Structure formats: structure tokens, C-alpha cells
Chain A
Amino acid sequence: MKLQVEACSKAFEDKVVLDELDLAVAEHEVVCLVGASGSGKSTLLKVINLLVPVDSGRILLDGRDITAPDVNVNEVRSRMAIVFQSFNLFPHMNVIDNITLAPRKVHGVGRREATAMADELLARFGLLDKRTEYPDRLSGGQQQRVAIVRALALEPELLLLDEVTSALDPVLVGEVLALLRELKESGITMVIATHEMGFARESADRVAFLHAGKVWEEGPPSELFTAPGRPETREFLRRITEAGRL
């Protein structure tokens, strides 16, 4: 799915988070959003998912304006999926029910069919033995992988990932990143907000550095990480390197 964010602005009270931001993502492309905390990465993803309305600007999916007033929000959302930093699994449902709820209620898939599909995804990501567990019995890494499977069960054409490893122990980060690498192979279009520079460098087709509510600089990771063009990007990368994250 092709995504175009055109001159989107968003302010919370007086705080400008997105300032006429432009971003284009081609089909099958994996774009990583990097930048300091508060640079607008999360807000941008929520704006794309229509969870947060923009103040101005538009967002096009395959050329169609999804910020137009007559758009069916639920229909748009069912074609893309977002995964959050804090997993947000439904605590009163087991893994299978978490995954099959939206396919059954939104796409009208039968329970048996939805369950079969969920099992297939769980097996693919090594979670099949957890299918009847409740979220509070899973590790953080397992919960996040289930959350990603739940998103995938909608067969989205676009996957938005909002710092999906930030709430995890370092040992658990690896298993989630491995899953993302596998997803990249499957060709799904992804926009990933991340602090994992190593992952961005190796997996992204393109990296966008967000600063002051804009895409300050973007390019293939090989260029952006090794020869950043703007002083703010260099400063950000320097601090990341000092923190041992690159």
C-alpha cells in the first residue's frame, strides 16, 4: 500500500507536534522513523491510523484521501494495523480471542476460520503453545509478539509499529526484532518508529529523522547514518552513539 502524508500539522494545546510534515512511503517499503522522544514519531503513526485527527494537511492511501470527512474510519483502519509500545492486549481475553476478535467482528470472518488463521500465524511465530493463555501469563516479548500477530490477523496492507521494543527487557527485544525481520521478507509495507538504530540500519529501506515536527532529513540508512547532511541529524546520531545505541 502506498502512503503519502502531505503537510500534516498537529498541535496539542499550544504544543506543535507535527508541523506541515511530509512523508511518502512506497508499496513494500520499510521506513523507520527515528528522532528524539517527543519528536512526533508516535503522533505521526496515530495520525496515519486516524486515531488522532490532524489539524491540517491530508493523508493519502493508494491515492485516496483518508482525512476527507466522508471516509469510513473503520474501513480505513481495517486495511492497516498499528502496534503500540505497551502491547495493549485485552487482559480479559486469551491469546486466540485477542487475535480473532477483530477479524470476526470487523471482517465478519467465521470463528472457525478466524481461529485457523490465528493458529497459523501463531505457529509461524512460535507462539502456538500460548494460544489459550491470558496476557498476564506471558512475558513482555511474548505479549508484544501476540500484539503483532493480532495486527497481522487483519491482513493489513500497511503495518505501523510504534516503538514496539521500547517497553521490553533487552533480552526480549531480540525476539521481537526477529519477527519484524521476517515480516519485512513477506513484503508488507511498514512504518516503524524505533530507538533501535541497529535494526533501522540493517532493515529499513529508508530512514526518516524527525525533528521540530518535520521530516528533517531522510535517506537510505547507509547514507543517513554514515553521512548525515544536517547538523541536527549529526547531533542526534552523536548522542545516540555516545549512549551506545548505534
Chain B
Amino acid sequence: MVFTGLALWAILTSEAWPEVQQQFFNPDAFVEVFPAVLSGFWLDVRMFLGAEVLILFFALLVAMARSLRGPAFFPIRSLAVVFIDVVRGVPIILLILILGFGVPALDLTGVPRSPLFWGVAALVISYSAYTAEVYRAGIDSVPESQRMSARSLGLTQVQTLRYVLIPQAIRNVVPALLNGFVSLQKDVSLVFVLGVREGVREAEIFNARTFNYTGYIVAAILFLIVSIPVARFTDWYTERDRRRRQAMSV
């Protein structure tokens, strides 16, 4: 509190503050840029909602592939490992640039050319790799005896994952999944590098035209408005889960 107060006091009393205020917190610019940034932000919202659904699905498939045991599944398991290693090793911004500019340039028939499509695809691919590891941690956290018990009943490996391990695993990793979702909400704005007119891009366009930065503040506020509730929900869920487990172990 004290530090925040001191920092605020330092900022607000600095000599350059009036100028910064004009550049970043200009009420007239705020009114002017708000509609454009808001409509761009609406695209961000649609992107992260759509991407999240795909990510949760693909990541689960990758995690399942990675959790299969035995020599028979070696090829599919290796494929999952290679996918995760490669994708996690590449900065997400590069993945967006490579796919967003690279694939449309190939000019393949039947392949979408929209930068928006490939930007979101890059996000889905990247986040699927991370999220697959979250799922896998969850699957590994289910006691081995559950797997053995399911297998002893004659369930196949895939059935064991689907009916026994994954339902328990997901419960264990909901907070981690929500955390990834918060992160994705902000990272969707990275597709602005492809020229997609989402919130940050609209703010940038305004800035290029007027040399005023208020649009960025507007975008930041909009991102906060959606991410803070998810963060609060994550904490609430984690706390409730902790209490339930405690009650169960008594």
C-alpha cells in the first residue's frame, strides 16, 4: 500500500506527468477511440473463446496419446512427445508469424488464407502443447492403483483413460486450466502482428494517426475487465475444492 501510494505520488507529481496524461489518459481521445477498440476487443473475445474450446479438446487428445503405455503405442506416444517439445520450444510470436504469413504465402488450394485463421491456429497449436502437459500432470496425479484396478476389470488403456483417469485428472487440474485460460485471453492479442484488427491493433491504428496512446489504456482496461473475474473464480474454485477434500479426508 505504502509503495503503491509513493509510486502514485511520484508519478502524479513528476514534471512530465501533464504531458503523459495528455498522451495516455486523454478524455477526448478516450471517447474517440473507445468504439474502435471495443469492437476490436470483441474479436479478441471471440478468438479466445473459440480457441479455448479447441485447445481443451486437442490438448486432451495429445495428453491421452502421451499417457498410453507399452511398446505397441510407442509411435503415437513419440509423436505426442515430439509435438509438445517442438511447439513449446518455439516462441509463440514466431509461431504466429510463421503460420500467419507462411501458410497463406504457399497459396495452396483449399487451404484458408486468412491471417486471422492462421493466427488463431498458431495459438491453438501452442496452447495445446502446454495444456497437454497440464492434463498429463493431472493424469499422473491419479493413484496408480486406479489404473491397475480399471485394467484388471478388462478395460482397455483408452477406456481406462476416458472413464477412470481423465475424469479424476481434470478435477485436479481445473485451477491450472483456468490459469492457462487467463493467459490465453491476453495472448490472443498477439495476432495483431498479422494485421488482424483486434483490440490492440485498433489502438495502434489510432496511435499511428493521432500520436496519442490512450487507445492502449482502453485496451488494457478491457482485458482486465475479463481476466480479473476468471482469476477470482479460479481462486474461489481452488479454495472450495480444498475444503471439500479436507471434509472428505476426515
Contacts and interface: CB of A to CB of B under 8 A. Distances in A.
Contact of B154 (A78, A84, A136): A78
B156 A88 contact: no
Interface stretch (A33-41, A101-109, A187-195, A234-242): A101-109
B245 to A, nearest CB: 10
A74 B150 CA distance: 11
Interface in A51-70: 51
A244 interface: no
Nearest to A74: B154
A82 interface: yes
A74 B168 contact: no
Contacts of B182: none
B246 interface: no
B172 to A, nearest CB: 11
B242 to A, nearest CB: 16
Which of B145, B149, B151, B153 has the most CB atoms of chain A within a 10 A radius of its CB?
B153
Given A74-B154, A74-B156, 5 more contacts: A88-B146, A90-B146, A101-B153, A106-B155, A107-B154
A78 B150 CA distance: 11
A77 B153 CA distance: 6
B22 interface: no
Given A101-B155, A105-B163, A136-B248, A91 B168 contact: yes
Contacts, number: 56
A150 B149 CA distance: 11
A106 B146 CA distance: 17
Interface string B157-172: 0010001100110010
B12 interface: no
B148 interface: yes
B149 to A, nearest CB: 4
B152 interface: yes
A81 B152 CA distance: 7
B154 A106 contact: yes
